[in-house]
Amino acid sequence: MSVSVPEKTFEHWVSQYILYRFRSKALLWWPAFGADVLTGGLPRRPGKAVSFELKTTTTTGGNPNRHHIDIDLGQLWNYVNHPLGLQPFYVFPIPNWSGSLDTFARRRGMHVTDLAFRRSGSNWWFANWTVAMPARDVAKVLAGPLKRHGSPNLGVRERLLTIDVDPSKRTRIVHWAATPSRPLVQWREFWDRIQECGAIDWPQRIVVAADALPRAKSSLSYQEARAALVWDMGGEQNAELVILDLVEPNQYVVRERLTTAVFEVDESADGQGYDHRAVVFMDATLLSR
C-alpha cells in the first residue's frame, strides 16, 4: 500500500493555500499528535471557526490506477457525536494520476512541489483535485458500518470510496460505498462559500458582538446569524462578544460569553485518531456582504 499524496505535503499545501488567500485574516491551529481541537476558545474578535480532517488516498493490490480512501469508524463516530457546529469537514484528494503524485509528475518532467501553486497549470494544481465533505455526509455514506461499530474506539476502518483513473485521458470514475446525499465541494468553491457564510447546515462556530443580536433571542436562523456577523464587520475591539453554535441545520444558539483568547486543545484525546485535524478562524472582515 502506498499513498497517492504524502499526508504532510497535503497538510502544508492546504496551509499554504489558506494563508496565501487570506493572509493574516485567517488563523490556523494544528494540534499536537493525538490531541483534538476544541474550538471553545476563540480569538477575541468577530469571525468564525471551521475545522477539517485531512485524508489522503492510497493505492493497493498492484494497481496504480486505483486509489481509495478508508475512514476510521471510531474517529468518525466521535466527530458526528460532537455538536453539529463543531464537526469537521473531511478534506481529501480525488486523484487523476497513476500511482504516487511524485512519481507521476517526475515522469512528465515536472517538479512536484510546484503543484501547490496555480502556476503548475489547471490540470495539476492541487486546488483542482482537492474536495471537502462535511463529517455528517461521510457518516451517511458509511451509515451501516458506523452503526455496527457504535463507539469511539479507533482502529476499525471502512472504505469510503474508490477512484479508478485513466491516466492517458486524465479521467476518473468515483465508486462510493453508498451514494452521497449531495455532490462533493471543490476546494476553491468551498472557500468561496465559506466567505459567504457557508450553508445552513455547514459546521461552523461564529463569534459576534452581543449588540449585533436580535434582542431577547437565544436561538437564531442561519440568515440571522449571518446578518449578525456581517453587521459586526470592523466592529468595536472591546465589544462584548458571544458565541453562536450551530446545533441543527438552520438553528444557532447563543452559547456563552467569550472570555478567552486562545484555542483550546483536548489533551485527553487518545492515540492517532486526530493527527490530521486543524481549525481555521476567519476574521469577520473576510466575509462577503
Q: Return the pLDDT at 107.
A: 85
Q: Which residue has the cell 502544508?
A: 12
Q: Where are the domains of the chain?
A: 2-29+52-194
Give the bridge partners for 158, in sequence order: 71
Sign of CA dihedral 247, 252, 256, 260: positive
> CB 7: neighbour CB atoms within 10 A?
13
**What's at 172, amino acid-wise?**
R
Q: Return the pLDDT at 153.
A: 94
Q: Return the pLDDT at 288.
A: 65
CA 143 to CA 287: how far, in whole Å?
34
Q: Return the pLDDT at 267.
A: 43
Confirm if 189 and 91 have CB atoms less than 8 A apart. Answer: no
Q: Return the pLDDT at 122.
A: 62
| Residues of the chain scoring pLDDT < 70 | 1, 31-42, 120-122, 232-238, 256-276, 288-289
Cβ contacts of 274 within 8 Å, gap of 6 or more: 31, 34, 35, 36, 37, 53, 75
Q: Return the pLDDT at 44.
A: 77
Name the residue among 158, 157, 172 with its Cα closest to residue 94. Answer: 172
